[in-house]
């Protein structure tokens, strides 16, 4: 069921083939399951701006939710035909309009300006343009009055799309990345009136188009071996995948500023940068510390988390694993020319015989790595790094999370009272020794500590 198109009686004449804005909106709401009229108006306006429907009494192509009359564009003029009408055609059209003494065909201000500009530009071929316009007027006169009304409006709407009112969006503008691959590059329609124009094309569109590469035997053979590899891949069931995605999202929802308002405020909304200042401060918040416990990846992502983990490992005299991992990460970020030297340094520090920070690698990874070092590159330590990461994940990371240092930060625990008390009283003691030395006072203080 479409929209009702009808002829409307108006004063002394009839307005053929129109539909009101409201009727179009209602149709859109119903048939595209739209809830919000604003959305329907927006979509309808876009369809109008593209040139598929148009208001009969306005050059500006939008859709209004009222009794304004609209008409459907003729398929000949549809943008999907890849029109790129030349200025000659536009000149003929504007010229033609001035030849007919009809109020409804009077030029709008911007059209009059365009015409003046075109007259200057085409000064030499103006006679030709004038003749074409005259010929068209003659043909048009022979058409049925109602038919002419409709065709004239459709033609005008076509030009409103290709030569829009200043300030309106030109919907014929194209994304240059897509231009070259127009479906029918040869069939781009240039002249609305069948006029051939010898002036060079103005459109930025015509870049030499890349011939679509046809698949060769090698391509298909590669595809076959790729598909065979995919067939061997062990994949996860959808139910498990869904659970995983859901639990990840749930875990991080508290950290998502679009879902949980950041404390104390979102800087973009409150205009206050305090949220950023707090994040940058030396003391990480409990919430941030909690994130380090989600995965080793999360802990290492946060520089503060990385530092804490390193500190903990140092206290256990087992920091070489993390330091190795960090060194390899750094290696991958170096400029190419630094890589061989840096790789050797890492080898010397962590893996060579008698290395100062010797790490524990299985013999297989060790062999592979030492082979790689013969031609050192950014990925020479990939296997080793992966092995060490797994080791840290299963061993030291778990212990880190259980450690006092981490738990203290997580629970924002204050230092134990006695320790604090002892320190302050010792300070008092040293200060007072300087001030006065009475035996009684000394004994008294000694006793209390």
Among 103, 139, 215, 437, binds other proteins (CB under 8 A): 215
Q: Which residues pair with 10 in a beta bridge?
A: 13
Residue 18 belongs to what H/E stretch?
A: strand 13-20
60 or 99: whose CB is closer to other proteins?
Answer: 60
Closest among 215, 204, 211 to 170, alpha carbons compared? 204
Query: Per the structure block, which two tokens stand in for 78?
Result: 């549809």
Smallest distance from other proteins to CB 20, Å: 20
Instruction: Tell which one of 211, 335, 354, 434 touches other proteins (CB under 8 A).
Output: 335
**Nearer CB in complex with other proteins: 76/226:** 226
Phi/psi for 104 (5° steps) reads -70, -15
Going from the C-alpha of 230 to that of each of 233, 234, 244, the distances in angstroms are 5, 9, 22
Q: Least distance from C-beta 217 to other proteins, angstroms?
A: 6
Tell me the C-alpha distance between 321 and 327, whole Å: 10
Which listed residue (202, 233, 282, 414) binds other proteins by CB under 8 A?
A: 233
Answer for which of 8, 382, 429, 432 binds other proteins (CB under 8 A) is 382
By CB under 8 A, the residues from 341 to 380 that bind other proteins are 378-379
Residue selected from 5, 7, 14, 38 as contacting other proteins according to rule CB under 8 A? 38
84 neighbors 203 (Cβ within 8 angstroms): yes
Site for other proteins in 254-313 (CB under 8 A): 255-259, 262, 266-269, 273, 275-276, 279, 297, 300-301
Under rule CB under 8 A, which residues in 43-62 are in contact with other proteins? 43, 46
Among 66, 173, 375, 417, the residue binding other proteins under the rule CB under 8 A is: 173
* Shortest distance, position 351 Cβ to other proteins, whole Å: 19
Choose, by CB under 8 A, the member of 116, 236, 412, 433 that binds other proteins.
Answer: 236
CB 198 → other proteins: shortest distance, Å? 26
For residue 378, give Cα distances in angstroms to 276, 318, 344, 381, 389. Answer: 35, 25, 11, 8, 17
Q: Minimum distance between the CB of residue 154 and other proteins, rounded to whole angstroms? A: 22
For 251-268, b where at least 16 C-beta lie within 10 A, e where not — what string?
Answer: eeeeeeeeeeebeeeeee
Is the CB of 166 or the CB of 439 nearer to other proteins? 166
221 binds other proteins (CB under 8 A): yes
Cβ atoms of 365 and 383 within 8 Å: the answer is yes
Q: Contact 153/73 with Cβ under 8 angstroms?
A: no
The single residue among 120, 202, 213, 282 that binds other proteins, judged by CB under 8 A, is: 213
Angle at 324 between CA 321 and CA 328, to 5 degrees: 140
Min CB(174)–other proteins separation in Å: 11
């Amino acid at each position: 069921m479409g929209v009702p198109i009808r002829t409307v009686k108006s004063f002394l004449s009839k307005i053929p083939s129109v539909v009101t804005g409201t009727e179009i909106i209602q149709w859109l709401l119903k048939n595209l399951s739209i809830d919000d009229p604003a959305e329907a108006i927006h979509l309808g306006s876009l369809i109008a701006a593209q040139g598929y429907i148009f208001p009969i009494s306005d050059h500006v192509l939008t859709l209004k939710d009222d009794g304004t009359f609209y008409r459907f564009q003729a398929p000949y003029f549809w943008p999907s035909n890849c029109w790129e009408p030349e200025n000659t055609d536009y000149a003929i059209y504007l010229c033609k309009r001035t030849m007919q003494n009809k109020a409804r065909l009077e030029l709008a201000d911007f059209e009059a300006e365009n015409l003046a500009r075109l007259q200057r530009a085409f000064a030499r071929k103006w006679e030709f343009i004038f003749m074409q316009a005259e010929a068209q007027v003659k043909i048009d006169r022979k058409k049925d009055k109602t038919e002419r009304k409709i065709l004239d409006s459709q033609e005008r709407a076509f030009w409103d799309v290709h030569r829009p009112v200043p300030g309106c969006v030109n919907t014929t503008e194209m994304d240059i990345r897509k231009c070259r691959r127009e479906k029918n590059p040869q069939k781009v329609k240039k002249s609305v009136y069948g006029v051939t124009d010898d002036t060079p094309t103005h459109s930025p569109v015509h870049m030499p188009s890349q011939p679509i590469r046809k698949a060769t035997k090698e391509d298909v053979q590669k595809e076959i071996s790729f598909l065979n590899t995919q067939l061997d891949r062990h994949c996860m069931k959808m139910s498990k995948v869904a659970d995983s995605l859901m639990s990840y999202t749930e875990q991080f929802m508290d950290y998502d500023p679009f879902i949980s308002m950041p404390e104390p405020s979102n800087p973009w909304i409150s205009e206050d940068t305090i949220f950023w200042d707090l994040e940058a401060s030396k003391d990480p918040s409990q919430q941030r510390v909690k994130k380090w416990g989600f995965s080793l990846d999360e802990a290492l992502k946060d520089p503060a988390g990385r530092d804490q983990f390193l500190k903990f490992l140092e206290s256990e005299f087992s920091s070489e694993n993390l330091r190795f991992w960090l060194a390899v990460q750094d290696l991958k970020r170096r400029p190419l020319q630094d890589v061989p030297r840096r790789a050797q340094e890492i080898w010397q520090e962590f893996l060579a015989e008698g290395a100062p920070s010797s790490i524990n690698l299985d013999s297989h990874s060790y062999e592979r790595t030492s082979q790689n070092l013969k031609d050192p590159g950014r990925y020479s330590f990939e296997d080793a790094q992966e092995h060490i990461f797994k080791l840290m994940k299963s061993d030291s990371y778990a212990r880190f999370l259980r450690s006092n240092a981490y738990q203290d930060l997580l629970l924002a625990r204050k230092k134990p009272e006695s320790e604090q008390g002892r320190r302050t009283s010792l300070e008092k003691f040293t200060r007072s020794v300087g001030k006065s030395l009475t035996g009684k006072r000394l004994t008294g203080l000694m006793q209390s500590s």
